[in-house]
Amino acid sequence: SQQGEEDPQALSIQEGENATMNCSYKTSINNLQWYRQNSGRGLVHLILIRSNEREKHSGRLRVTLDTSKKSSSLLITASRAADTASYFCATKSGGTSYGKLTFGQGTILTVHP
């Protein structure tokens, strides 16, 4: 079963606006990652936030993590048409040293020029 559920399933905005996507999960995690997938391509890692972190930034990306609510959000500021893609959260649980991840269903983001 899927660990993460993402909301909304689809998001349509204009260039320059901010985009916020949310991810909820069910069990305790070690870390949470966000990936981007352009149409017809593989996934590309964006950012990782550990369970003891609350917020992390990378360029125009801001990720928050609330372990008490078992949720995370990805904010893309000043969006561009090139940000059009599907965005997935992925969680890692357990004490293993390898990256066995569980992915959410994804949010489809469309940024109109």
Partner 1 sequence: NAGVTQTPKFQVLKTGQSMTLQCAQDMNHEYMSWYRQDPGMGLRLIHYSVGAGITDQGEVPNGYNVSRSTTEDFPLRLLSAAPSQTSVYFCASSYTGTDTQYFGPGTRLTVL
Residues contributing to the site for partner 1 (CB under 8 A): 1-2, 4, 30-31, 33, 35, 40-45, 48, 88, 92, 97-106
Q: Which is nearer to partner 1, 19 or 88 (CB)?
A: 88
C-beta of 42: minimal distance to partner 1 in Å?
4
Place of tokens 């040293």: 97
C-beta of 7: minimal distance to partner 1 in Å?
13
Q: Do 90 and 103 touch, CB atoms closer than 8 A?
A: yes
Q: Which is nearer to partner 1, 75 or 101 (CB)?
A: 101
Helix (H, G, I), strand (E, B) or coil at 38: coil
Q: Do 96 and 6 touch, CB atoms closer than 8 A?
A: no
